[in-house]
Structure formats: structure tokens, C-alpha cells
Amino acid sequence: MCLGEVVRQGAFTNYFSFGRLFREASQPGGRSYSGVLMTARSLVAIVVPALLVLSPLAASSQTTAGGTRAVRRDIPMTRMIQRAFQTGTRDSTGRPGRNYWQLWTDYKINASLDPVTSIVTGHETVVIHNNSDSAMRNVVLRLDQNFFLPNVPRLEAASELTDGMQISRLVINGQALNIADTLGSPIPGSTRRTPALATVLKNTSARIPIATPIAAHSTGTLEADWKFRVPRADNGRGERMGRWADSLYQVAQWYPRVAVFDDLRPGGWDTDPYLGPAEFYNNFGHFDVSIDVPAGWIVGSTGVLQNPTDVLTPTARERLSHVLESDSLRTIVSAAERGAGKSTAAGNRLTWHFVADTVGDVAWATSNQFVWDATRATIPGRGAVPVNILYLPGHAQQYAQGGPVVRHALEFYSRLWMPYAFPQLTMVDGPELGMEYPMFIMSAVFAADHETGHQWWPMMVGVNETWYGFMDEGFNQYMNILSDADYAHQPAKLDSVGLAYGRVSGNELEAPLMWDENYAGPLYSFAAYGKAPMMLSALGGVVGDSAVQRAMSDYAKAWRFKHPSPWDYAFFMDNALHQDLGWFWNYWLFTTESVDGGIQDVKTFARRTAVTVRQNGQMPSPVILKVEFAPTGSAIRPMSNSRMVDANTAIVTYPVDVWFNGSRTFVANLDFGGRTITRISLDPAGRFPDRDVTDNVWPRAPLAPAKAPGGR
């Protein structure tokens, strides 16, 4: 999902990265746009405590005593992942299994926009490659425009009610279907009838029985004619798309889309409806798309323009030919170049032809007012790719930094995870200020880093956003922290992020991350966006941040253009990090528990100090102590599981295993040779969820004096 979704919901989340936006908006030559302030007012942030120092881990054994707590140390395996293991499509390596398969779809779409009525009319032919071992006896279509119908289930308001996706012709495997059917067909041996097709086609997810099944390892075809009216969004945000009057259109979820058929769902098909907040899960495939618009209207789209000589002026083509020569921002079509023969080639109507390979979706935008700027991003190992920015003339100041921000994101994330795989990226202005599609983002500049980050997940790593938004939005939020820091030439601040979850844990409104996020409740946006950065901060506290990032890079490469599940991710990370982290994944993914640690007692005997640590929560974590010494005294003799961070400060680490015997308390026996210890801090980097940090320090801070009784 997009930043815009959180703005629409006024969601409970923390983007961890808006500081950069406000700093830049106030700096000379920096970003200046009112959209940043509008967005900030729309958000309710989780307050992240003051940042402390991260420490690496070292192993040691000590004694534990007192209390009881059953620590689950494995990853729960539901029926869907058990089936996948049994059939060999997935396994405990976390990589695609020996029998892994996925659907592939080839689309050819011809569409036309009439700005007078705002209606898009289209025809498509789809070849469905059934690479599974089972026959498809029905086909499930995504008809997301039906979200705008008056009577469909949805979890947020539509920007405008429309007639939805109106299908006038549907042919599957050569069989023309009766789309006007209001009765359904008799079910043999029963008095019941199948759902009427006319009713089925009014849903956002439509399961359609087919007379001739698509056999395993074979292909089937689908043809459809349809139309819909692009919903208006003049007075608010678009719903991942929309139009401003009849002069600018952002078009998405705009064609009948074959749903994912995979190895995880019973029956293969993903049938979750589109309810608004949660996003999409798409097949990879090939798209050949032709978009017919009036001359003078510029079109930006997923894919590569195939016919520039038919739709662009010689001047625009000549300017485009220099885009890859430098990082300069070049104007391709200026605000002064308006109308047929100036902003585009001459004529009455023009057809823009785009082709995109190995993508899950296509979106596009068009306007008769667009200014077109372009620059480049240099992708490691690949070279330069063009970055196109389309915006209204009155928004020139807001989009002035669009090129540099997108360039930085593409280059930084290519180094962090894996090279950007697509041949271009287009950013467009419009009512939707933060939504992502392959090679294409609807975005204001303040959201551009985040939306560009989505090119890694879900565009290259095809996660199921509907069910597991944290693998998309949450991972993106984590990497946005890293990108923001790199952009500002500062170290990334991941300390205290994990700790902050302690103030959320226990809220009855929160669902576990493994819950289907279509039904995640009031804290949907926290689950999708906020919790995963906290989880990865905590994981960095266990294994180190650089190790987390290397492992996630390898995970991205292993699942490039495939569909991983959360189990695949967890098992892959275990193997990449060479640790059994079942306990970690269980508590972070399947529960809403926290650590809630504290220093219960400190006793000193001669040269030794016994520190009793207690964990009141159900989630275990390593015990990490920051030990500060008096500046003078006996020589400090470091312990085997400690490291000195300066002359008078040591970090002592005990592995999570100390809790596996079920105790709630652990005694850390410190022996540094007799130097006086002046202060001890638990979890000094703030990596593990803790609701109350006041008991993490010894000696305790003095309580504020009570106020004397007084009158009213």
C-alpha cells in the first residue's frame, strides 16, 4: 500500500522518515511543498524514545532462577504451508522448492479514454499459462472497479460512486458466457442453482465456472470487453486512482485481471475481495497495452513506449535522446507546449503503445496539461535507466526535487537489495499522491522514496499484500529509514525502534501480523506499516543490522519475480543468518506479545555484582547490559561475553537461550576485576519491546517529590 492510504485513514502508524521531509522543506533549495504538512496532520505517530547505542551480541552462560514462562521456539505451521511442504513447492530452506510453480499471464489490451464522459472502454485477450499440477475448473477475476458500486462491501469510503466495471462480453476458452444471466444454472442432483453470472460480475472478486477446464501444464484464453467511468476526486484523495475534472486521469485497477492461482490456497485461487485498505496480489506476466486518447494528451504508463514517432513531436524525441547522458533534469514537454502538434504529435486521436514484461500489473495516467521532465538513475550492474516526471504546471515547485529523490531511491535500494530490474520509472501528479505500480508511481515528492521502494516489494518480490502487508509496506518502511539516512549522509537510526512496540503490545485492537490484513481491524495500518520496522530493529539487536540487511538482500534475490510466503521469509532468514530463530518469528509474527524486561535487583559481593533481570512479557530476548564504571580504581578485566565501548563502559551480552528453561528471571554475574560499577542499563540500544523503561536502569532514578496537598 501507499503513503496515501495512511493519509486517507488517518492511520495509527509511524513512518520513521518524515523528519527528513520537514527538514528539507524548511531549507533553502530543499523540498518545499504544502503536501508534507497536510500529510503530517493526517498521521498519528508512535513516539520513538531517545536513541541509545547498539551493541553486538556475544554468548555466555549464567544461571537462571524463579518464575515460569513457556517459551515457544518453533514457527507455527498452518495447513497451507504444510500442504506446500508436502508437495515440495516450498521447504525449510526458505527458497522455492523443487516443485515450485506459479501462474503466468499474457495480456493484450486495447483501451480508449473519452474525456467528455470520463469513460474508459477496453478489450483484452489473456493467455493463462497453468503451470500447476491441477486443472482449473473455474477462473477468478479481479474486478476492482466494482469497489465504486453503491452496494459492495468496503472498509473505506469511495471518492465517488460509479456503475463499476461493466462487462459487455466475456469468453473463456472459446465459450461465450451469458453475462446477462440473472438465474444461474441448475446444479445436477440438487434443487439449487449456481450464482447468477450477472450478480457474480458485480463483485470485486468473481469466480466463474468454465465448461472446459484448463488442464495442468497447458494454456487457456480469456477475452473481455468492458467499460467504466473513472471516479472523480476533486475534493479529496483518489482511491489509488481518480481524476481531476476532465483534464487529468490516474487510471489503475482498470481491466479484468486474472487472480493469482498458487500452491498455498485451498483450490488454488486467491479470492479475497478488494475492500479498500489492503492491497493486491498479482500474477507475473507480459503486457501489451495500447491506450487511445485525444491528441495533445500525454500518457505515462507501466512499460516502455513502443511508438514514439507516432505520438511524440520531433522536438520531444530529440530531448529524450539525451536523458541518459547525465543526471541533469531535462524538460521533454514544457508548460508552453500545449495541444496537438506541440505537446504531442498532430492529429485527432493518438494511440500510445506500451509493452511491459515480467510485471504483475499496469497503471497509467494522462492529461492535456502535463509538463514532462526526465532524468536518469544509474543502476549498479545495469547502467542508466530513464526517470520520467509528469506534473501540472502549477505544481512545478512541488515536483522540482522529484527526479533527484527517485534517482536516489532507485540507486540506493539497488545497492541495498538487488538491482532495479525494469527499464524505466514514471512518476505522475494527480489526486492519488502515494500509490505504486510496476515502473509507475502516483506520488507527491514527499512519498516518492516510499513509493519507489515498492519496486522491490511487491513489484520484483511478488508478496501477497492483501494477506501479509508487513512483507510489503512494513519492509518498505524499514528500508525507508535506511534511505532517509543515506540521503542525509547520516547513520541510520534503528535504535529504540524495536523498543517502541512495547507501548502497542497488549492493545486489544491489534491483530498479529499473520492475520489476513483484509480483516486486521482498527490497527490495520500499524500492522501493515509500523510493526515490521520494529521487528527488524529487534532482529538487528539479536544478530546485527548489517547481517539482517545482507540476509534480506539474499532473500530478495532468491524470490525475485516469485511469490514468497511469511514462512519462506522466516526459514530463509534462519538459514542465511545461521541461527534457529523460531522463537523470534513466533512471537513477532504470530502473537502480539512483548518482552517487558527490567532490572529487578542488583547486589555486589566483593568484586562481583549479581544483576537480576526479569522479563514480565511472553516474548523472550537476549539480555544486553551496559555497564558503566567509576573513572578510577582497580584495572577493568573484560569478561568473555563483553566488549569495551570506551575506557569505562562495557557491553555485556547473554543469548536468548538463558530463558529457554522457562524462568522469568536471570542472574547475570558480573566480574570485571573489582572496579566500582556506577550504573547498569538493560537493553541500552532500545531494540526489544518494553512498555516501561524506567526499571531498565540501576540505580533507579529518584522519584519526583510528591506535591503538598492543596486546595482546588
pTM exceeds 0.85, yes or no? yes
Instruction: Look up cell 503538598; give the residue.
Output: 708
Among 590, 617, 635, identify where a domain stops.
590
Question: Is 249 within a domain?
Answer: no
**Residue 176 covered by a domain:** no
What is the per-residue pLDDT across 204-233, written as a single tens digit (0 to 9) for each? Answer: 999 999 999 999 999 999 999 999 999 999
What pLDDT does residue 380 have? 97
In a domain, 35, yes or no: yes
Same domain, 654 and 632: yes
Q: Residues 601, 577: one domain?
A: no
My answer on whether 528 and 570 are in the same domain is yes
Residues near 701 by beta carbon (within 8 Å), at least 6 away in sequence: 694
Statement to judge: residues 610 and 694 lie in one domain: yes
399 in any annotated domain: no
Look at the chain and report how many structural domains it folds into.
2
90 and 67 within one domain: no
Q: Which domain holds residue 669?
A: 63-74+594-698
Question: Is 613 within a domain?
Answer: yes
In a domain, 624, yes or no: yes
Which has the closest alpha carbon to 541: 496, 508, 503, 580? Answer: 496
User: What distance lies between CA 228 and its chain's CA centroid?
Assistant: 28
530, 565, 590 - which closes a domain: 590
Q: What is the pLDDT of residue 56?
A: 32
All cell numbers assigned to 125: 485477450
> What is the per-residue pLDDT for 503?
97
Q: Parallel, antiparallel, or unpaired: how do β-strands 665-671 and 248-251 relate? A: unpaired
Alpha carbon distance 414, 42 (integer Å): 31
What is the DSSP pairing of strand 425-428 with strand 440-443?
parallel
Q: Are residues 608 and 579 in the same domain?
A: no
Ranges of residues in the chain with a pLDDT under 70 are 1-67, 703-712
Give the separation between CA 252 and CA 144, rounded to whole angstroms: 9
The reply to whether 420 falls in a domain is: no
Q: Is 273 inside a domain boundary?
A: no
Q: What is the pLDDT of residue 2?
A: 56
674 and 614 in a common domain:
yes
d(CA 455, CA 440): 9
pLDDT value for 17:
41
Closest to 372 measured CA to CA, from 327, 427, 438, 447: 427
572, 590, 608 - which closes a domain: 590
Same domain, 498 and 568: yes
**Residues 488, 573 share a domain:** yes
Same domain, 623 and 601: yes
Closest CA to 637 of 675, 677, 676, 611: 675
Q: What is the pLDDT of residue 24?
A: 39
**CATH number of the domain enclosing 621:** 2.60.40
Do 560 and 631 lie in one domain? The reply is no
